[in-house]
């Protein structure tokens, strides 16, 4: 057995444990998907039939939910995650233009990861920092009044 299939076997086993633990919850699919992503970083293609089996759903139903909600990442996250607030207060002070700048600079869109695996770019709707928009979160750290120049510095720090 190869190392990759070993990892897949471990992952699938863990997904089954999580799904089985949460299956009795009302609307169990979403809590299961959130728990899998929180523990394993993303929802992988191999997870779908396992979750479908535990909940007695079709794989298509699980896939539909995973692709409908932007919250679910379908590939491993980058080493750093950059989240740019796109809610109203931040939009009023240039968050859309800041997002355009980030997409151009990184060469990826929201929900995507740079090919070198360094940075995942995400949109978020309010980081609770509305008075200091545009707000950007890099990893666990929140930044306010982020200009393009400041964003370039932040992206430079995590793109190495
Ligand atoms: S609207 Fe951007 S932090 Fe609240």
Is cis: bond before 134, omega within 30 of 0? yes
The verdict on 114 and 148 lying in the same domain is: yes
Whole-angstrom distance, CA of residue 86 vs CA of residue 95: 6
Whole-angstrom distance, CA of residue 154 vs CA of residue 100: 15
Whole-angstrom distance, CA of residue 130 vs CA of residue 67: 29
pTM beyond 0.85: the answer is no
Q: Is 65 in the pocket of ligand 1 (CB under 6 A)?
A: no
In a domain? residue 133: yes
Q: Which atom of ligand 1 is the closest one to the Cα of 86?
A: 2
Domains: count for the chain: 2
Q: What is the CA(23)–ligand 1 centre distance, in A?
A: 34
Q: Which atom of ligand 1 is the closest one to the Cα of 95?
A: 2
Instruction: Tell me which residue range forms the domain holding 142.
Output: 80-158
pLDDT tens track, the chain, 160 positions:
556 688 889 999 999 999 999 999 999 999 999 999 989 989 999 999 999 999 999 999 999 999 998 788 888 889 999 999 999 999 999 999 999 999 999 999 998 899 999 999 999 999 999 999 999 999 989 999 999 999 999 999 998 7
The CATH number covering residue 121 comes to 3.40.30.10
């Amino acid at each position: 057995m190869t190392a990759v299939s070993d990892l897949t076997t471990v992952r699938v086993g863990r997904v089954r444990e999580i799904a089985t633990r949460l299956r009795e919850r009302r609307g169990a699919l979403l809590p299961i998907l959130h728990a899998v992503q929180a523990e394993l970083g993303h929802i992988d293609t191999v997870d779908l039939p396992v979750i479908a089996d535990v909940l007695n759903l079709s794989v298509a139903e699980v896939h539909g939910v995973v692709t409908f909600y932007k919250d679910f990442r379908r590939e491993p996250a980058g080493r750093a995650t950059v989240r740019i607030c796109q809610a109203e207060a931040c939009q009023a002070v240039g968050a859309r233009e800041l997002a355009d700048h980030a997409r151009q600079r990184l060469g990826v869109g929201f929900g995507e990861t740079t090919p070198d695996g360094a940075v995942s770019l995400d949109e978020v709707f309010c980081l609770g920092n509305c008075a200091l928009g545009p707000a950007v979160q890099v990893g666990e750290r929140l930044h306010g009044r982020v200009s393009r120049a400041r964003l370039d510095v932040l992206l430079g720090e995590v793109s190495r």
